C-alpha cells in the first residue's frame, strides 16, 4: 500500500515533503499529489517505470501526452522552445491552471514527445503543496491528471485516492479536497494560440 501523508494545504509540513522527494529520488516512486486544478499522478522525468504505470492506472495508450510540471519559469524554459510572444503570454498567465503545448528541447526524453509534432505539455502550478514539492525536488515532475477509466471527473480527496488506488502508487500526498476541473490547455506550437481544452484557467487571453 501507498505511504499516506497528510499535509497542510497552504503551509505543507517540510518532513512530509522531504519523505516524498526521497521516494521519488531513491525508489523511482509514483505519487498522487494535489495541484491547483485537481489531483494528479507524478514521477520523475527520467523515471523508468513511471510513464507505463500511469498508462496502466488510467488505461491510456502509448500516444498519451504527459505534462511536465515545473517549479518556475526558468525551469520551464529549459524544456521547451519559446518565441517572444509565447514567452510573454506564459509569463503573464503563470503560475496558474494552464498547460501549454510547445516544441520540446533536447532536455526532454524523446519517449515523452508527441510522436509527430515533437511537442510536450508544460505548466507552472500555483498550489503551495506542489510548488514546495517541486522546489525541494529541484526538477520537473512527469504528470497526468488522476482521472480513472470510466470516470467523468478526477478524484478529489486524498483519502479516496488512497482507498481506490493506494495499491498502485507508492505515496499519496493529501492536502484535503482538490478541484475537479483540469487545466486549460493552450497549444502554442504553431505560432498562433489554439485553446485545445477549456478548464480551470481563463481562456480569454488566448482566444
Kindly state the average pLDDT of the residues 33-53: 93
pTM to 2 decimal places: 0.92
Q: Give dist(CA 13, CA 44) in Å, integer.
A: 21
173, pLDDT greater than 80: yes
Q: Give dist(CA 130, CA 114) in Å, integer.
A: 25
pLDDT tens-digit map of 85-104: 899 999 999 999 999 999 99
63, pLDDT greater than 80: no
Work out the pLDDT band at 110, boundaries 50, 70, 90: confident
pLDDT computed for residue 112 by the predictor: 84
**Strands of 24-118, DSSP E:** 31-33, 40-44, 67-69, 98-103
Phi-psi region of 176 (alpha: psi -120 to 50; beta: other; left: phi over 0): left
Instruction: Quickly count: other Cβ atoms within 10 Å of residue 191's Cβ.
Output: 8
Residue 25 domain boundaries: 3-206
User: How many structural domains is the chain composed of?
Assistant: 1
Residue 12: give its domain's CATH number: 3.90.870.10
Work out the pLDDT band at 45, boundaries 50, 70, 90: very high
CB distance 71 to 124 below 8 Å: yes
Of 194, 188, 179, 203, give the one whose Cα is nearest residue 86. 188
Whether the CA torsion 10, 130, 195, 50 is positive or negative: it is: negative
Measured in whole angstroms, the distance separating CA 187 from the mean position of its chain's CA atoms is: 16
Amino acid at each position: 500500500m501507498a505511504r499516506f501523508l497528510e499535509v497542510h494545504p497552504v503551509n505543507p509540513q517540510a518532513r512530509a515533503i522531504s519523505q516524498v522527494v526521497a521516494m521519488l529520488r531513491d525508489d523511482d516512486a509514483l505519487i498522487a499529489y494535489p495541484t491547483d486544478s485537481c489531483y494528479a499522478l507524478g514521477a520523475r522525468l527520467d523515471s523508468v517505470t513511471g510513464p507505463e504505470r500511469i498508462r496502466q492506472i488510467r488505461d491510456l495508450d502509448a500516444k498519451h501526452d504527459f505534462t511536465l510540471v515545473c517549479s518556475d519559469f526558468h525551469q520551464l524554459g529549459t524544456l521547451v522552445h519559446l518565441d517572444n510572444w509565447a514567452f510573454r503570454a506564459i509569463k503573464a498567465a503563470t503560475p496558474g491552471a494552464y498547460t501549454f503545448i510547445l516544441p520540446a528541447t533536447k532536455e526532454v526524453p524523446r519517449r515523452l514527445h508527441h510522436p509527430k509534432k515533437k511537442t510536450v505539455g508544460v505548466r507552472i502550478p500555483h498550489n503551495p503543496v506542489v510548488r514546495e514539492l517541486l522546489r525541494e525536488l529541484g526538477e520537473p515532475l512527469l504528470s497526468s491528471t488522476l482521472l480513472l477509466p470510466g470516470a467523468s471527473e478526477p478524484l478529489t480527496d486524498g483519502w479516496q485516492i488512497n482507498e481506490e488506488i493506494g495499491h498502485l502508487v507508492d505515496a499519496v500526498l493529501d492536502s484535503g479536497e482538490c478541484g475537479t476541473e483540469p487545466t486549460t490547455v493552450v497549444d502554442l506550437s504553431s505560432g498562433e494560440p489554439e485553446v485545445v481544452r477549456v478548464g480551470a484557467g481563463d481562456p480569454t487571453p488566448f482566444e
